A and B are shown apart, each in its own frame.
Chain A
Amino acid sequence: MTDYFEVHDRDGAARLGELRLADPVTTPGLVDDVLADAGSEWTADRQIPEGDEASLTVLPHRALPGGTPEEVQAAFASDYPDVDYPSAAVVSPDTAADDGADAYVLSTAQSVAGHAEAFVDAIVRTRDAIPADSALYLPGVATPGNVATLAYAGVDLVDTDRAVVKGTRGKYLTADGEHFLEDLTELPCACPACQGPRADFDREDCVAHNEYTLRAALATVRERIRQGRLRDYLEGQARHEQWHTAVFRRLDRQYGYLEQRTPVIRRAEITAASDDTLRRVEIQRFAQRVTDRYRCRFDNPLVLVPCSARKPYSDSQSHGQFHDAVQFRAHTVSMTSPIGVVPQELELTYPAQHYDSVVTGDWSATELEFVSDVLGAYLRENEYPRMIAHVPAEYRPICERVEDDLGVEFEYTVVDHPTTTDSLANLASALAGEDKYRKRERQHNTLRAVADYQFGRGAGDALFEDIRVRARYPKLKAHDPGGEQLAALVPQYGVLSLTLAGARRWVDSAAPTKRVEIDDFVPHGSVLAPGVVDASEAIRVGDEVVVEGPNAFAVGRAEMHGREMAESTRGIAASVRHVAER
């Protein structure tokens, strides 16, 4: 049971949480003032401590530092008592398990901090072994430079120990690294400790500065999590130290760990300022769903166009011009870094209208490779009678690569720039004689495409075979032949929100349903984690979910991932949109 820790907000593996002590601690945060260590059992037999609500009691432990042989770990691993006050259990990645504690202290922190491979392995293994709603404490390793990386990986609690010890050694810490105090001509900081003259600044001041800076770095991390933008910060900040960069790159390779924890929709914008952005879960997931789940339902030719800075693309001037030339005679797919390819039906769908990239007119080799891989995979899944590439010169290498890989040919229509009169005329004349598709077809195909993307391959047909569409794009609504609303397209995220009738269709359809099984109550507003009996593993934050129990059938949006719903004892599991009593 985790009674004294609650996760309020999530940003990938990072969480904004609350250590619910008499004086609550917002996490990621410092535990210096609230930690009560009941002591090591290596030195003495310990009684179960009294404990209290004001502190996080570290239960009597035999800490196993890095390098402890496996058999010794197995022989000496601690057994922890069940206590009814805030408690922490000391574990190693090998011994970590659900010990019923609110927090877990990683005894190998000193061994793994600084070594990206070992660090990622330790965090991923430990996080997977302890309950999702417990806090993870890495003792003695936090610095202003590494806390963003620690939090990004899933660490909730840290302390000032290393920052203080470094200060006593004349190491001046900042978010961008570490300096020998004697090497600094001036103090690059405005904290209270750095107010005096440089000449008077001694190691005691350095200790104070390090603590202030660590606190500020933690506040930055917490704000970033609130905004859902820790990754964007980290892609820049982590570059100051190699192991930090290596950590997030290695975590990108631990796709399962991050994907499980990354929301499927959010308001925050993605800053695409480095090649690393291409490996973000949001980007990979979109590319994967577009190639694996989405299916083009139009019979018209393909027109590949460049993306626009303005989102959604259709709001941009350039896409307006493309549209005028195409005149509903082709299926428009935008090529973009870092997203890959965006079929016109998915231009609203997160993150297709939620990113901003650095535009220089040059593409990096990684971008070229990524976009051509996605385009290639897309064209293997979707066949077109003709393929027109209305793209500027810098996109040509991508198209040519795909032509070579797939043995296909594009018709190129751009002479200098896609929006010049000549280029647009070329595009229009290339489509001369092609049939126009109707508005109804466009609207139906849009709703079905989003359903495919959101619920799985074929879901668009399974859910929306016989629909009537009401309202105007982008606020499309799907109704059944009897007039009852099934779903609405949410323009902000480009996903569907279902009604109860839509949810029933989903349950009855072949498309895999994401279910939250609850106890015998009728949820209103939200479903709290303790009321969840079970939940589909595949649920991600932001997913549509069906909530079912003996007394209720409801539909809503997930606030936790599936495992977290099933394991957590605190927090909101899902927000409920519509509910019916049974």
Chain B
Amino acid sequence: MANPALTSHVSDYLKRRARWSPLEIAFWVFAFATIWLFPSKYLILKDTAILALFAMSLDLILGYAGILSLGHAAFFGLAGYFAGLVAKYGYINEPVVALVAAGLVAAALGFVTSFLVLRGSDLTRLMVTLGVSLMLGEVANRYSNITGGADGLQGIDIQPIFGRFRFDLYGHNGYVYCLIVLFVCFVVARRVVYSPFGLSLRSVKGNSLRASAIGIPVKWRLVGIYTFAAGLAGIAGALLTQTTAFCSLDVFSLDRSADLLLVLIIGGTGYLYGGLIGAVIYKFLQDYIANLTPQYWQFWIGLVLVIIVLVGRERMAGWIATGRGTIESLFSGAAARSPKLAAPDGK
């Protein structure tokens, strides 16, 4: 263990993996450039940012920890109602504080339910996660005097961010707010994923028996990532409530969790950008189809799902990887240094 050469080698390797690639930087530069590029599309861009955050949080437990969940909307919805209620009754007026608090509430629920989810097979997990979100939906429906029941929570008045930036009608500030929150959450999630903790998660997903044999506390790692992902999902839910000033029972619905899976499948699981790219494609696809056939867009979404599965996710991931490789080599070619050559610089 106390081999200094080995330790430094490993930490070098980790640092190298964690470095921001030019493509990633370009991605975020473009993401922030959309603020000025598409001023007429703020509404859909804002939804996309929220969906991206939500999908990223599911990817943490699905792609990194291998837990199949159909009830991720539970955290989204709980935090959404939390953010709505504290704003409506004036407990926490500062949106950013409310956002963090909502994330913590969702994380607490994630921590408690993680022990239920860790038991049993895939199907049991599916049922328990689904059951938890449906139960929360029933509770929200039951206490309709507080939550507004089927009509949704109305009359939420969100105060300006830091007392300065008011949520305007065109959604400009709302979108910037969502994008910044998404970026911050992404950086945190990226840090977690590239840490030794994240690596140990991968080994747990690969083979949990072996992982525990080399001394990884499998259970606590899973509890940890589940709690963290729940917190991120909660932040996404709170963002939705804050930017729309509305929250309805729909946040707990199965459709929402199922759509989320589709987003991840489009984007690819097991790398953080999967959720982001998937959200962008999904949102614009949905917008396009909904314009063509407003009532029956679900059919086409279903068809996309079926086709993706029949064609095979691995095959598609192969295409994407090829495409990515091409773009990356183009990029580094332009910068006159390939990522492989750049690596030794870090030593």
Q: Do A and B bind each other?
A: no
Q: A residues touching B (Cβ–Cβ < 8 Å)?
A: none
